[in-house]
Structure formats: C-alpha cells, structure tokens
Amino acid sequence: MKTRKFDPVGWIVPILVIAVWWAVTRFGIVAPYQLPSPQTLARVLVDFATGWYGLTPYAGTMFLHLWHSLYRVLTGFALAVVLGLPLGFATGRVRLLRRLFDPFLGLIRSVPGIGWLPIAIVWFGVGEGNTRFLITLAAFFPIYLNTMQGAAGVPDLTVRAGRMLGARGLTLFATVIFPAAFSQIAVGLRLGLGVAWAYLVLGEVTGVTEGLGAVMTDGRMLGQVDIVLAAMIVIAIAGKLTDWLLCALCRCISPTVRKGGRNA
C-alpha cells in the first residue's frame, strides 16, 4: 500500500470520456433529457452543493444527503469489521472452525445482494434497518474471506519463531499473526468499503427520504437525469476519499505496510 505519486497518464481516459461526452451532447447525438452536457451537469453539481441557481428541488442539500449516506456506510462497514475480523482470524487459524463455518457462510455468500432485499424489508422494514443490514452483509464477506486467507497464510515457521521468543496468546497474535496477515486484511477492508458504497444505493432506493440513493430515486421518477448523475458523482468522490482515508489508517496500523514491504 505504497503512497502513489501523481500520474498524469491516469487522467487520459477521463479527459477522453469528457471530450466524447461533450461532443455527443453538443452535436445533438444524444438528447439532453437522456444525457446532460458536462457544462449543465457542472452547474447542477454546484447548485446541489450551494443552492446558488435553484435548478432542482435538491438545491443546496448535498451535504445533508451526503451525511446521511456516509453515516449509513460507516456504521454498516464498522459492524462488518466487528463481525468479519474475529471470525476470519478464528477460521483462518483453527481448522475445525473453518470446517464448521466456511461451508455455511459460502452458501449465504452465493445469494446475490438483490436477493436479500425482500427478506431484509420483511425483517427490518423499509428504511434505516434495511439499508444498514444490506451494507453490513455486503461488506462482511470480503473482510471475512481476506482475513481468513491472511490468517491461514501466516507461515508456521513464523509462528514457531514467535513462540520461541516467548510470545503466547494475545501477545503472539498482536506481534506475529496480525502483522503477518495485515496486508491481506487491508485488501479485504478496502473491498468491503467499496461494496458498502455500492449497496448503499440498493438500500436507499427502498424508502428512505434522505441520502444520495434517495436523491437518485427521486430524480429518476421526476425525469431529472442531471441530478441522478450529480448524486452518482458525489458517491464516487466520497467513496474514493473514504478509501484514501482507510489506506492511510492501514499504513498507520501496520509497520509492514508503512514500510512498503507489501502492497494492499
């Protein structure tokens, strides 16, 4: 998980996409109600954040909706971490527990997220509980699987060396197993956070009144594609920023990652 320097090559594709986007809207290849121009979308984004132009019913409400969405993502992700990390370490280090839990969890993981939506609504109702359940469920499996693989992949020689130096129990875990497995764990955390943002939209389109997913649903029903795209862009930026913060936290936690010995 090394800190990346600015790479101008990474801007080539976005610039090309914006150029094509401008061309197809400028010359009428795509109707404005299907795809607004980059200039129009930029104004809608500014209006969404500031309310300067009053272009949509959501003028000036971006930070309110972002806060609600961010809170749901972080609480659901935190619950997935609390469940996924201990279970992943347990099944990764204890073969009997892996044989006991892994087949059952594999069956649950095989059900697509949209398949859980009806039963989630029955169990938790429409709104906060349903959304948080879907986010937690989605984020749990990447965290659990990568933690299990990381814990299981710690060489026995490394563990024996730690014991020879006097490490036992929690000390052995904190000084040997956890650092050795952390690069794999960090991958799972990043994947889990990413799918948490994806499942946020699935949860918020089912009845909540505040949140970026709710804005997207209302915008679609009102035929305002511009506000739908604006909400998508805000989600993309928020997801990227939270991923960056998670990477920074992982570098602080793990000496191996901080030294750049392994990449997550």
Q: Tell the residue number behind the tokens 């201990």, with chain if given.
A: 86
- With b for 16 or more beta-carbon neighbours within 10 A and e for fewer, the 28-52 pattern comes to eeeeeeebbbeebbebbbbbbbeee
According to the model, what pLDDT value does residue 49 have?
93
Q: What is the mean pLDDT of each run of 10 residues along the chain (264 residues)?
A: 63 90 89 89 93 87 94 95 94 90 89 83 82 92 94 82 74 81 92 92 81 89 89 94 92 64 47
CA distance 117 to 131: 9
Tokens coding 114? 């949209």
**HSE of 187, CA atoms in CB hemisphere, 13 A:** 12
Q: Are 192 and 139 in contact (CB under 8 A)?
A: yes
User: Residue type at 253?
Assistant: I
According to the model, what pLDDT value does residue 260 have?
42
Q: Are 139 and 193 in contact (CB under 8 A)?
A: yes
According to the model, what pLDDT value does residue 63 have?
95
According to the model, what pLDDT value does residue 67 have?
95
CA distance 206 to 208: 6
Q: Are 238 and 198 in contact (CB under 8 A)?
A: no
According to the model, what pLDDT value does residue 231 have?
94
3-state secondary structure of 108: helix
Give me the CATH code for the 64-258 domain, please: 1.10.3720.10
Tokens coding 147? 């933690």
Tokens coding 59? 């003028």
pTM: 0.86
Tokens coding 1? 């998980």
Domain boundaries, the chain: 64-258
| Spatial CB neighbours of 239, under 8 Å, sequence gap ≥ 6 | 193, 194, 197
